[in-house]
Amino acid sequence: MAADGPLALGVRRPVGMLMLFTAVVVFGVVSLGKLPFDLLPDVDYPSLTVRTVYPGAAPEDLEERVTERIEDALATVGGVVRMRSSSRAEVSEVLLEFEWGSNLAFLVQDVRERLDRVFLPAGVERPLILRYDPALDPVMRIALSSDRADLVRLRDLAEQEVERELEGLPGVAAVKVRGGLEDEIQVQVDPQKLASFRLTPELVRQRLEEENLNVPGGTVEEGAVEYTVRTLNEFRSLADIADLPLVRRGNGTIELGDVARVVRAARDRDVILRVAGAEAVEIDVYREAGANIVAVSERVRERLLPRPPTRAERARAEKARRLGRPEPPRPRSIAEKLPDDLRLTILSDQALFVRGAIDEVRDAALAGGILAILVVFLFLRRLAATAVIGLAIPVSILSTFGAMYLAGVSLNVMSLGGLALGIGMLVDNAIVVLESIERCRAEGDPPLAAAVRGVREVGAAVTASTLTTIAVFAPIVFVEGVAGQTFGDQALTVVASLLLSLAVALFFIPGLAARLDRRPAAAPGDAAAPAETGRRARLFPRSRRLFAGLRRPRRWLPAALVAAICTGAALFLFGAARAELAPRLAEFPAGGRSGMAALPPEVRSRVAALQFGGFVLLLPLLWLAGEPLLVVLGRFLADLAGLLFLFLRGLGLVVSAPVWLLLQVPALLVGGLQSLLEKTYPAFLRRALRAPLLVLLIVAALGWSSWRAAAGLGRELLPEVLQGELTAELFFPAGSPLEETDRLAAELERRIRRIDGVVETAVLVGADRESTRSDEDGPHVARVTVRTRPGAAARATELAVEAGIRRLLAREPALARFEIRRPTLLALEAPLEVEVLGEDLDALAEAARRVEHALRGVPGIADLRTSVRRGNPEVLVSLDRERLAEHGLNLGQVAQRLRLAVEGEVGSTFPEEDERLDIRVRADLSRMQHVEQLRDLPVNPEAERPLPLAAVATLTTGYGPSEIRHVGKRRAAVVAATLTGAGLDLGGVARRIEERLAKLELPPGVGVRVAGQKEEMEKALGSLLFALILAVFLVYAVMAAQFESLLQPFVILFSVPLAGVGAVWALRLAGERLSVVALLGCVVLAGIVVNNAIVLIDRVNRNRRRGLDLDQAIVEAGRTRLRPILMTTLTTVLGMLPLTGWLPELPLIGSIGGAEGTELRAPMALVVIAGLSVSTLLTLVVVPVLYRLAALAAGRSRA
């Protein structure tokens, strides 16, 4: 074996290799159960958002007093690539973008320290540092609705029944409820009455805070008793609040009820949620970090919705009925506990997409594996050889799960896509190895020798071809941005599965193939074997010699004597133990365990020692009597297993016979085509070798045409993924109250539900104050979520629904504008953004209008919008500082009283059974229904002659800016748009926009530039192009090391541009664009296409070392390697075919390969399929021609 080398291990040590691969597969299966499910890999987005709330502040005030100060403090944070900010009503957000790979934990600490040194005005809340993480999005959104229940009851039920039930589930981190109505206690003061009593609203808030207390008073000891002292003074009813004494004047007391009304009312609403037209409450479920998203979803659904009884529950119920007992109670779901008039609706569930992606990989792997194995059978026409090659797929895939577990990779869309991508490549090495073994057998080698020689001849070639495929994934680490973070998992799964398939091909397939070969050479003495070794001997070779070889040698008698002596000693020890136990156990009638447990410890130890010694002395007897019995039993069971195997083999032949017969016709056709190719290809190759100039001219023409075609390809960052869900964002005129927006949006939702293909709708009106959206938000904004009908035509249905929604909304006169969005898998900016930079707000607004007007004529864009919009209607209060000073007032004091009167402040809380309601002090809004009534608001009610607000201020109405944006600390306006229809070519649209902007006249001091996804696209495509160049170099390095030549790898690398011809034309004809996914397919293709050339050139070199002349060596190598090259190409191509999404359009197999997420992998599969197919056809001709020219040139140079 030493002479054979390590490649003979699989042949010489088959059991060891079998156990090794079995252990790896078992580890993979165990790891599969432990892998977490997720939507996407963990993407560490290098960005932080500093969010600061300044209640009541306008955008201009926020910009000057908050945003600019924070920007100045954070401008010098290390690693900042870009800083942007947004100042809108009450909210300032500063977005910091860092370099990819930055340590965000340290950056958060640095930002926090700098924020602590920023001086902010009084009333500004502490800045929050928010880190974007897709895991922070809810995994499930649930709606609770009713046709009759009031919204307060809905909110209470959602918090008390649903939220509490779901929060205790494993994997659930938090459950948040929003929407509906929340109660609070409102103290509605009458400003005029306060002024008449010379009281201030601050006094009311202060008294509520002071008089609503439960204060511990310590402890008091009285003798042996210790008492806890507590002061109980909380409000118990609204009457208690109304009777609260404020001040004492003379002999009387002014109570709160004298100057205010105390009512239980609903808190001011921020959002309104409707599902199918009925108002509802939304429940968001968040998962714990690292929790299995599918498992969390299943637990929530099981607890939430009723389920049919399980088999065990039905069995218990049936048993109880037979016995006449009451049926055991089943756990009730939340839906069953709720009143009958309430409905639970699941609005969104991320697990559905994950589960769909997993189903897609399963179907794609199954279909690809079946197609690949089918190709092998059609070429080999032998079931045994096909089964041997087919083993490479399950062994490699199951083992890859172990590598994923060790690397900490989850089961997500990208990692599973990597497995599906490589499914057809897993059998390539096995095909080459088995084909080599078959050729050696045809040359007369016995099975074992053929296996060893076959794997040694192609071992180096298949190793080099696998390493070239793996090498192209190394440059992925240099890919920057979202693309590099996202496709890392895919690279790992492909590399792991290919390495494992190489190990299977080199160390497992040869041994298996040698032992499954039923064609051994005849031995000299076999013909003279006795007749009785016929059928019975073949069926029962061990049973007929059942007792043979059991005669003991002469030392059998001493062994029996030793066993007898040891057995006698053992019986003596057992008797001594029984004598020790008998008198003591008789004292305990219960005997058994209770008696033993009651024995003293020393007695138990002595008895245990005697029994252990007896068992040890019995071992010689067990060995003497057990070994013959085990040998006989083993022989019998071995023959029984052989008989069972023979039966199963016959049964398998009977079952597989129809399939075998069905495949005979295509197998014969493939065989005939193969014979035809084997006859015509050598002659064709000889002609090509004699006309190299013509071959090179044809290749040059193909290259030039593909270069021209590549120039016309569109560009995009990532393909748009259709998930069966749309969101229509409706923008009504600024200043529209929440109730009016709700009325109009509800009518539009009702009309959208009537569009064919719409399954479910939900509308969210307004904006949650905790939301971190930087886009336009407010009570005038509504978002209608639409779920479309699934099925085979889901994509066409979604596009038709989108078109119908656009037509419907375009005719609605109440809308200011609208946008149609889809849920995105990655955190990406708008596809197109034009940043208008300047300092003057009026100039920015004018420039933004000009840019918006210029972009309206660009074909392919929709939902054009600008950040410079008319804001909400404002009441501007301009205070006169001199008048304030005359009356001893200051600006802050008056502004605070104005805020308390209009918005109110929480002064205390009111206890309920399981929650505490806020007690809000505010002016009686029924007396302030008009803006003019603000003028009469007393600003100094404590004075002898209170002044109205109009005496010290000027009130005007107007519209302020909706928000003020900064880009790099400069004021900016952003004009954004989305792509639609034929305009999905992001690169082409961006180019046309740049051409129009170059001709645009702008105000002085204003500049423009195109941003959005275009920047990320250019960065990602540029880094991938660099990765492609680096991958080609690594492939060259691997081949140069294998061939020990610097020239031959150049000949092989010519396969890469040949593959580019097929890839470019496939993208062009399929209407696909050059995206990150397609370019990554080109990187993968660079490592795959050289494999065929490596195998071919390796055979040519072997032929030349055997003494064949150049042309004869090339032709013989082409004829010999034709079949494995065609087989590996077809298995790879057909294995990737399900990823293209074409199979659903074919009859009989329409359910395969059409699940969610296909858009993310179809361009890659298309590039690899087309590139590999064209490259294979050209490689069989062009590479031999180039090799001959290079060899002739090298020979002349040596001469």
- Residue entry with tokens 């109205």: 948
Confidence class of residue 1 from pLDDT cuts 50, 70 and 90? Answer: very low
CA distance 377 to 663: 9
Specify the pLDDT at position 528.
Answer: 37
Specify the pLDDT at position 542.
Answer: 46
Residue 159 has pLDDT above 80, yes or no: yes
Domains 47-131 and 183-266+898-939 equal at CATH topology level = no
Confidence class of residue 14 from pLDDT cuts 50, 70 and 90? Answer: confident
Specify the pLDDT at position 527.
Answer: 39
Confidence class of residue 952 from pLDDT cuts 50, 70 and 90? Answer: confident
String of DSSP letters for 750-797? HHHHTSTTEEEEEEEEE--TT----S--STTEEEEEEEE--STTHHHH
Higher pLDDT, 265 or 558: 265
Provide the CATH number for the domain formed by 722-822 in this structure.
Answer: 3.30.70.1320
Specify the pLDDT at position 511.
Answer: 82
Residue 775 has pLDDT above 50, yes or no: yes
Residue 772 has pLDDT above 50, yes or no: no
String of DSSP letters for 999-1049? T----TT-EEEEETHHHHHHHHHHHHHHHHHHHHHHHHHHHHHHHT-SSHH
Specify the pLDDT at position 523.
Answer: 41
Q: Dig out the tokens for 651 from the structure.
A: 């049964």
Residue 128 has pLDDT above 60, yes or no: yes
Q: Dig out the tokens for 897 from the structure.
A: 């009283």
Confidence class of residue 652 from pLDDT cuts 50, 70 and 90? Answer: low
Asked if 1183 contacts 688 with a C-beta cutoff of 8 angstroms, the reply is: no
Residue 85 has pLDDT above 70, yes or no: yes
pTM of the full structure: 0.69
- The stretch 599-604 carries a mean pLDDT of 67
What's the chain's average pLDDT? 78
Please report, in angstroms and rounded to a whole number, the separation of the first and last CA atoms in the chain: 43
Nearest to 992 by CA among 1006, 977, 1003: 977
Residue 453 has pLDDT above 70, yes or no: yes
pLDDT (tens digit per residue) in 970-979 = 888 888 887 7
- Collapsed DSSP state (helix, strand, coil) of residue 631: helix
Specify the pLDDT at position 419.
Answer: 79
- Residue entry with tokens 């201020």: 953
- The stretch 788-813 carries a mean pLDDT of 83
Asked if 175 contacts 166 with a C-beta cutoff of 8 angstroms, the reply is: yes
Distance from chain centroid for Cα 205: 50
Specify the pLDDT at position 960.
Answer: 64
Q: Please tell me the least confidently modeled range out of 60-74, 304-318, 1071-1085.
A: 304-318
CA distance 541 to 534: 10
Distance from chain centroid for Cα 628: 60
Specify the pLDDT at position 555.
Answer: 54
Asked if 284 contacts 176 with a C-beta cutoff of 8 angstroms, the reply is: yes
- The second-level CATH assignment, the architecture, of 183-266+898-939 is 2-Layer Sandwich (3.30)
Contacts of 814 (CB under 8 A, 6+ apart): 732, 744
Q: Please tell me the least confidently modeled range out of 33-37, 306-310, 335-339, 589-593.
A: 589-593
pLDDT (tens digit per residue) in 415-439 = 877 777 777 777 778 878 888 888 8
Q: Which helix (H) or strand (E) holds 6?
A: none
Residue 825 has pLDDT above 70, yes or no: no
Integer CA distances (angstroms), 18 to 430, 462, 516, in order = 16, 21, 14
Specify the pLDDT at position 482.
Answer: 67
Distance from chain centroid for Cα 690: 55
CA distance 866 to 851: 9
Exposure b/e, 499-531, CB count within 10 A at least 16 = b: bbbbbbbbbbbbbbbbeebeeeeeeeeeeeeee
pLDDT (tens digit per residue) in 234-281 = 888 888 888 888 888 877 888 888 888 888 887 777 788 888 777 888
Q: Please tell me the least confidently modeled range out of 446-450, 858-862, 1116-1120.
A: 858-862
- Collapsed DSSP state (helix, strand, coil) of residue 715: strand
- The stretch 672-685 carries a mean pLDDT of 83
pLDDT (tens digit per residue) in 1157-1181 = 667 777 888 888 888 888 888 888 8
How many helices and strands (H and E) does the chain possess? 41, 28
- The stretch 71-96 carries a mean pLDDT of 85
Confidence class of residue 828 from pLDDT cuts 50, 70 and 90? Answer: low
Contacts of 384 (CB under 8 A, 6+ apart): 516
Question: What sections of 818-975 are H helices per DSSP?
Answer: 841-855, 881-886, 891-902
Specify the pLDDT at position 982.
Answer: 47
According to DSSP, the residues that pair with 657 across neighbouring strands are none
Q: Dig out the tokens for 76 from the structure.
A: 């010098």
Contacts of 807 (CB under 8 A, 6+ apart): none
CA distance 1113 to 1102: 8
**Percent of the residues in the chain that have a pLDDT greater than 70, as a whole number:** 83
Residue 697 has pLDDT above 80, yes or no: yes
The residue type at 169: L
Specify the pLDDT at position 526.
Answer: 41
Q: What is the CA angle 620-626-631, rounded to 5?
A: 135
Residue 534 has pLDDT above 70, yes or no: no
Specify the pLDDT at position 824.
Answer: 65
pLDDT (tens digit per residue) in 959-1016 = 766 778 888 888 888 888 877 754 456 777 788 888 888 888 888 888 888 887 777 7
Asked if 850 contacts 38 with a C-beta cutoff of 8 angstroms, the reply is: no
- The stretch 695-699 carries a mean pLDDT of 87
Integer CA distances (angstroms), 888 to 894, 945, 947, 1130, in order = 11, 13, 12, 91
According to DSSP, the residues that pair with 189 across neighbouring strands are 260, 923
CA distance 210 to 231: 13
Q: Dig out the tokens for 1087 from the structure.
A: 């490592």
Pick the CATH number of 140-180+270-352 from 3.30.70.1320, 3.30.450.20, 2.30.30.40, 3.30.565.10: 3.30.70.1320
Residue 1153 has pLDDT above 50, yes or no: no
Provide the CATH number for the domain formed by 47-131 in this structure.
Answer: 3.30.70.1430
The class of domain 6-34+381-519+1018-1198 in CATH terms is: mainly alpha
Residue 641 has pLDDT above 70, yes or no: no
Asked if 761 contacts 752 with a C-beta cutoff of 8 angstroms, the reply is: yes
Q: Which helix (H) or strand (E) holds 580?
A: helix 556-585
Instruction: Write down the domain spans for the chain.
Output: 6-34+381-519+1018-1198, 47-131, 140-180+270-352, 183-266+898-939, 555-672, 722-822
pLDDT (tens digit per residue) in 208-222 = 888 887 777 788 888
Residue 548 has pLDDT above 60, yes or no: no
- For 380: left if phi > 0, alpha if psi spans -120 to 50, otherwise beta; the answer is alpha
Confidence class of residue 1156 from pLDDT cuts 50, 70 and 90? Answer: low
The residue type at 188: Q
CA distance 1009 to 997: 8
- Residue entry with tokens 């974007």: 132
Distance from chain centroid for Cα 956: 52
Asked if 43 contacts 412 with a C-beta cutoff of 8 angstroms, the reply is: no
Q: Give the DSSP letter of residue 313.
A: H
- The stretch 90-119 carries a mean pLDDT of 85
